Each structure stands twice: as structure tokens, then as C-alpha cells.
Amino acid sequence: MQPCLLLLARHGHTSGNGDNAARPMSGWTDTPLDALGRQQAEALGRRLADGPPLDAVISSPLSRAVDTARIAASTWGPVRLHDGLREIGCGEVDGAPIGEVKARHAALWEANLRQDDDDFRWPGGESYRELRARCVAAVRSIATARPGQRVLVVTHAGVIGQILGEMHGVPPARWEPFRPGNASLTSVSWQGDRGALLRFDDRDHLSESTRPPGG
């Protein structure tokens, strides 16, 4: 069986990205692309148009991912949705302003930053262990169904981080080592149960005007 080439794209910029304390916790909360995010998706589309054809385009069902996929890859056919590609569910704090979450859940905020508990979860939310299992199952199913194909997968930083963490033996709670930028491409060759990283967080298609501060 030939490997499947997965082009893992993080969605474009939204109000949930950046350093603003008023930005929402963007887990399953459906924060849309902002103007910068749409520009980034267009740049991603130009990058993809310069490469080999895509055999499929698959996206998280959250609008920031779906809209990125539609803007970037509409010429390659319909965008198929896969629920396993959602960002981590943050439960009761999902959608709340970051500053408010820090103030009301200070101990949990610090525990999350330590990145040492695979079973950490926000109240009513999803644990990192559960997120890892969901994400890895999703990409395995996509790759198994499409051997030898080139597939664009538009998803979220947390999902891409968990997929690469699994490939490199990094525990689920360690969400920071493989955190890609908005509208970046991460290329993975996947065969059977395992993937091999070809390129991480490729932003060559993004100009200075489409790179957010610090991004």
C-alpha cells in the first residue's frame, strides 16, 4: 500500500488568536476568520495552485477551518467535513474571554501551562489524552481510505500538535512543541498506523502583510 501525503493546514487568523486578553477560548466555539485570516487563506490557495493536484480536501466542521478550506482549495472539489478534526473542547470556559478564564480559574490555568498532566481538562471539557486519541484516529482513517493520494486536511493547532506529538513520542499534555502558525502547511507521509514528518509549519507562502505580530 502506498503512503498517503497529508497536507495539514492550520486555519487562518481569527479573533481567538493573538495576545489580547479579551480574545475567546476558541475550542469548539465557532470563531470566524477575520480579514487577516481570509488573506492568509487566499495566500495558501495560491501556494496550493502552484503544486500538484489535490485528490481530496477534508476539514474540521468549525467555520474557521471550513472557510479556510473553501477559500484555499475550492478548485479541487467539495470540502468534506470530519468531526474528528475539531479543536479541543474546552467545556464550560469555551468561548469565554481569556482574561476572565485566567482570573476565575487561576489554578487550572497554571496547571495547563505546566503541560504535565495528560488527563488535564477544563470543567466539562475534553482531556488531552482524549484529544490525542480522537485526532490520531481521524488521520489514520483519512490516510487508510486514500493510499497514494495527496490530501489537504484543514484543521487546528491543537489537532496538528497532537498528531505530530504521537509521531514523535511527545506526551499529549505537551501541547506547545508542535504548534503551527495560522495558514501554515505541515506535510506528513502516512502509511498504515504511522506517519513520517516531511516539513513542519511551512509559511513560505505568507508575506509580511499576512503574518500577524509574533506569528
Residues forming the active site? 11, 87
Residue ranges of the binding site: 10-17, 64
The answer for residues whose C-beta is within 8 angstroms of residue 191's C-beta and 6 or more apart is: 1, 2, 3, 4, 143, 147
Q: Are 41 and 185 spatial neighbours (Cβ–Cβ below 8 Å)?
A: no
Q: Beta strand pairing status for 79-81 and 4-10? A: unpaired
Could you tell me the strand order of the sheet in which 185-191 lies? 79-81, 56-59, 150-155, 4-10, 185-191, 194-202
Q: Find out whether 165 and 196 touch, Cβ atoms under 8 Å.
A: no
Contact 174, 151 (CB under 8 A): no
